Chain A
Amino acid sequence: MFEMPSGAEIQSIISILKGGAGFFVPEIYLSALFMVLIILDLVTGRKNARFLAAVTIAGLVGSLYYIFKQQAMPDTEFFFGMYALDRFGIFFKYFFVASGILAVLLTVIDDQLKKHESGMGEYYALLVAMVVGMMMMASSTDLLMMFLAMELVSLSAYAMTGYLKRDPRSSEAALKYLVYGAVSSGMLLYGFSLLYGMTAQTNLTRIAMVLAAHGYDPLVMIMAVLLIMAGLGYKMGAVPFHFWSPDVYEGAPTPVTAYLSVGSKAAGFAMLMRFFFVAVPHGMDMYVSPLHIDWLMILMLVSAASMIYGNVVAIWQKNVKRLLAYSSIAHAGYLLLGIITMDQLGTQSVLVYLASYLLMNYGAFYVVILIANRTGSENLDDYRGLGKKMPLAGAALTVFLISLVGLPPTFGFIGKLMIFSALLSKGSLFMWLALIGILTSVISLYYYMLIPLNMYLRESERPEEGVVETGMGAKLVTATLMILTLYFGLFFQPIANYAKYSSVLFGAFLN
């Protein structure tokens, strides 16, 4: 069926690839880091966890330089329209590298992983692979590339989730994650194939052009959108595609939980935004479906359902990791609010919210690990009296939780403020969503405060123990995350301005 390309054609393909590679340096660099880590693991032997962690962090920090260099480049699409370089993508590149670095920081203090007998070599390699995958998710502009990127993230994530081979909970979590992931990948592909069938294009911009020029059958469109949403919703952990998340979050090693809840969720959002903003813009009035629903309406319902379900079900959780899993479902709902407005302010607010979520969620998980190292469990009851034994960790966790609720003066409040501002800037159109958002955040206060309640208001069963030392490095990281959460709660100008600058997507027209 395929004809052999001629020599000249091959030459031109190679030159296009070579030209594109200049815009692809961070990804290439990180792929090299991935291989370096595997080789280092092979040559350095068993007790190399700390060394590999240091190399990973150094490597990830190094990649920031290449990302920074990209800021001077013009927005462009390369690799035959497979991939874009734009400010939106660069924001997420920074975001995912930061998220990777924090995940390493969480890993080095985790006792469970420290004791892991078969070493940590693959772990760090997988972590870096996932960073590459997530970057590609945020920048792909082609259905095929999107799918590949997403699979790269998923496969790394499955392996990381089940990394504690001897722990049945970890293996169970990995299997559940894999089964759900396989199904939703299938749905995503089905949706893509419908879209391809309608337009005969895989590039997002061209899909949009064909849809606008030739019209489409709204029924097929809504099916395609629903299926794609199922695939992306799985990554974002939004209702009703969330069923995997509580079990996976609880079973996975805690650093992986944190990594999934921030990194892979954000990647899902980045891809969702790029896909919907570019490929199927809202507002093609002439093709309103007979059911009067379009993807925006679906997103609204998903968002409302996530906020309500995540926040309400979290109330009854006794395990902190599970509690944070449900809270992350709720946060997916809040993040969707910013996408629904379909404008630059909304996009900006999503980026700010994600940045705040990065700090506060990693912070919360960091302290959860510190506590689990001491008590060996993540049960709420075991948090009793910890406020006295771990003063800094306790105070920091309280700040992170307050930030997750969205109270000033924390970064989380700024995230919520921006999201609700975006909603209300559309007048009363989205008022009902804003109301659901703020009412559920009151509910969230109740369950988040269960943790400080146990830490401070209740006495431990073993009160004789004195202050627990967590080590200088851990203290430093905790304090830094806490101070940043508070600092950006009061002086959020740089981040918010950078988010505004980054809310430019290649090929999307946002008002």
Chain B
Amino acid sequence: MLSLIVFLPIIAGLIILAVPSSQKQIIRIVSLLAALGQGVLAVLIWRQYDPTMAGIVAASGGSPFGSFQMIEKIPWISLDLGSFGPLNIEYFLGVDGISITMVLLTALISAIGVLSSWTIQKQVKGYFILYNLLATAMMGCFVALDFFLFYVFWELMLLPMYFLIGIWGGPNREYAAIKFFLYTLFGSVFMLLVMIGLYFSVIDPLTGHHTFSLVAMADQANYIKGAILGPDSVTWRYAAFIVLFVGFAIKVPMFPFHTWLPDAHVEAPTPISVILAGVLLKLGTYGMMRINFPLFPEVFQAGMYVIGVFGAINIIYGAFCALAQQDLKKMVAYSSISHMGYVLLGLAAANSEGMLGALYQMFNHGTITAMLFLLVGVIYDRAHSRQIDKFGGLASYMPVYTGFVTVAWFASLGLPGLSGFISEAFVFVGAFREEVTRPIAIVSVLGIVFGAAYLLWSLQRMFLGKRKPDALYDLEVDAHGHEHIHFHDWKGKLDLDARELTMLIPLGIIVIALGIYPMPVMGLLTTSINKLVQVLAPVAMSAVH
């Protein structure tokens, strides 16, 4: 089942390869079918998933795969490395509470992305092949439980993303695409070294050989004394933690590694922005929760405070930057940075509330930001501009659009009753409970104020009041005295059309429903989060050493 959900898009990609490039509609429909198939599979997985099983790490004495579910484990590569015994790489997939939320999110956002890609006209065939490759890589990252496999999927995302930004992007796309590529590769090459180092330091208790299994690596008892990342090798363990953290932080993106994100977002076409903000950024924090923290818990304990500080910087700095933007998409991009800061803050708290908030925030940020970027795309399609002060008074002419904007904007600023509120509240509760992170939490609350400021201010400038004198649309008054507007070369429906509504309505429902009753998602992840907190806690570690 997991294999199918991972490789369905790539199968679609192969089919598209055989379709002549003039058959644009067929190409789109094949992609959509794959995405919908992923969605169906995601729902099936969700129904089958047993939320009482924790995952994270192999349960002592229990199943050798830990309490992961829907496990697929087959030997992939087995090499003889002489004195190091066999090199075993496994095709090892499975889900626990952390990954299943991300699987659901990825399936949802991938499908929305396909719909949003409907308007792409340039080289449709190439676009959807790359898009499907990207979809496979993202999904693969979230379900891989073998570090090697994870790494392959992780790097596989880069090339499609490079081309998707670089070919279908805005005017400055060359720069944005290579910047994205270089930044993320810089982060991930260190991951390669850490991966190899971990391989030589960990023994799978089942086979007695070195292993790439993340489940085995998450158990500190499996590390060999004297190995490069063994329990007594303090310096290298710190170094490994830091470079892994930087690698994931680039993806998040965490200040000061965030500068690729605004560039990438501004240049990327709308669907790619949606994917980027909706899923790709989550991979950074997911990597921290799956790999970075549980594999080096003692370093995490020592570095919690620093991570929290960076989280706070992200929150406040991102909000400030967003406040200064004239370009609506850039503003949303910076708001992403700000909101990912909450995730970092929640992780830094390292208690159940904080972690729960962090993971829930990852899910909510995915849905909310996808909405935000879609809405930005709607106005950009019509006006070919995103300058916030080139509009004004849109609310009277595009009421449905304004309605969705309001929901998304308010969800983003954390209005109670919408999903963003709950996750941010949990993050703050968690961060407040720990003495270490309490001052950081207090400072970070300011981020909410600034967040409200830039969101409300942009809402006001674009939608309320009257048409600005230099606005990008024309105003006409007909014989009955009714005002009409039209954008210069926009032939379609002025307000949201059916396709746009199909994308926005499900997201809107999720945002509202999860704000009122968060249990469908939160119920999935509590057991796993508690286990993760336990693994990361100092007590658990001292028991091992």
Hey, which bits of chain A sit against chain B, CB under 8 A? 343-345, 348, 388, 398, 402, 407-409, 413, 416-417, 420-421, 424-425, 427-428, 434-435, 438-439, 441-442, 445-446, 449, 452-453, 456-458, 490-493, 496-497, 500, 511
Contacts and interface: CB of A to CB of B under 8 A. Distances in A.
B367 to A, nearest CB: 30
Interface in B124-175: 151-152, 155-156, 158-159, 162-163, 166-167, 173-174
A388 B21 CA distance: 12
B321 interface: no
Nearest to B77: A493
A417 B192 contact: yes
A420 B185 contact: no
Contacts of A492: 77
A428 B228 contact: yes
A305 to B, nearest CB: 20
Interface stretch (B40-48, B79-87, B524-532): B79-87
The 6 A-B residue pairs with the shortest CB-CB distance in the complex, in nearest-first order:
A438-B189, A408-B152, A457-B166, A424-B196, A344-B82, A408-B155
A108 B123 CA distance: 33
Contacts of A441: 189
17 contacts: A402-B159, A417-B192, A420-B192, A421-B87, A421-B199, A424-B197, A427-B227, A427-B228, A438-B192, A438-B193, A442-B185, A442-B189, A446-B178, A456-B167, A457-B177, A496-B79, A497-B80
A438 B190 contact: yes
Contact of A424 (B123, B155, B174, B228): B228
A496 B155 CA distance: 22
Contact of A408 (B156, B174, B177): B156
Interface in B59-86: 77-84
B487 interface: no
A434 B193 contact: yes
B245 interface: no
Interface in B178-196: 178, 181-182, 185-186, 189-190, 192-193, 196
Contacts of B166: 453, 456-457
A28 to B, nearest CB: 34
B229 to A, nearest CB: 10
B260 to A, nearest CB: 14
A457 B174 contact: yes
A425 B197 CA distance: 8
Contacts of B151: 408
B432 interface: no
Nearest to B158: A407
Contacts of B82: 343-345, 348, 500
Interface core residue of B79, B87, B156 (most chain A CB under 10 Å): B79
B305 interface: no
A343 B83 CA distance: 10
B159 to A, nearest CB: 6
Contacts of A435: 193
A496 B79 CA distance: 7
A500 B81 contact: yes
Nearest to B83: A511
Contact of A420 (B155, B196, B236): B196
B162 A449 contact: yes
Nearest to A391: B126
A498 to B, nearest CB: 11
Nearest to A423: B196
A345 B173 CA distance: 43
A425 B163 CA distance: 36
B200 A345 contact: no
Interface of B: 77-84, 87, 123, 151-152, 155-156, 158-159, 162-163, 166-167, 173-174, 177-178, 181-182, 185-186, 189-190, 192-193, 196-197, 199-200, 227-228, 236
Contacts of A425: 84, 200
A511 B81 CA distance: 12
Contacts of B162: 449
B173 A457 contact: yes
Nearest to A454: B174
A439 B185 CA distance: 10
A interface: dominant SS = helix
A5 B427 CA distance: 93
B92 to A, nearest CB: 15
A428 B236 contact: yes
Interface core residue of B81, B83, B158, B177 (most chain A CB under 10 Å): B81
Contact of B79 (A343, A449, A493): A493
A501 to B, nearest CB: 9
A315 to B, nearest CB: 12
A427 to B, nearest CB: 5
A345 B167 contact: no
A393 to B, nearest CB: 14
B196 A442 contact: no
Given A348-B81, A425-B200, A457-B173, 10 more contacts: A413-B155, A420-B193, A421-B196, A424-B196, A427-B228, A439-B189, A457-B166, A457-B177, A490-B152, A497-B80
Contacts of B193: 420, 424, 434-435, 438
B9 to A, nearest CB: 15
B530 to A, nearest CB: 34
Contacts of B167: 456-457
Nearest to B151: A408
Contacts of A511: 83
A289 to B, nearest CB: 29
B241 to A, nearest CB: 15
Nearest to B21: A391
Contact of A491 (B77, B178, B181): B77
B154 to A, nearest CB: 8
B226 to A, nearest CB: 9
Nearest to B191: A438
A23 B190 CA distance: 46
A408 B155 CA distance: 6
Given A453-B166, A497-B79, A500-B79, A409 B84 contact: no
A497 B80 CA distance: 7
A417 B196 contact: yes
A116 to B, nearest CB: 38
Nearest to A493: B77
Given A493-B77, A500-B79, A511-B83, A442 B156 contact: no
Contacts of A421: 81, 87, 196, 199-200
A386 to B, nearest CB: 13
Nearest to A435: B193
Nearest to B173: A457
A490 to B, nearest CB: 8
A331 B541 CA distance: 43
Contact of A407 (B77, B81, B123, B159): B159
Contacts of B80: 497, 500
Contacts of B87: 421
Nearest to A499: B79
Nearest to A444: B185
B210 to A, nearest CB: 10
A138 to B, nearest CB: 21
A341 to B, nearest CB: 12
Interface core residue of A388, A409, A420, A425 (most chain B CB under 10 Å): A425
A469 to B, nearest CB: 16
Contacts of A445: 181-182, 185
A453 B181 contact: no
A242 to B, nearest CB: 24
Interface core residue of B82, B123, B199 (most chain A CB under 10 Å): B82
A409 B152 contact: yes
A449 B199 contact: no
Contacts of A458: 174
A202 B178 CA distance: 53
Contacts of B196: 417, 420-421, 424
Contacts of A496: 77, 79
Interface core residue of B155, B182, B199 (most chain A CB under 10 Å): B155
Contact of B81 (A345, A424, A452, A491): A345
A442 B155 contact: no
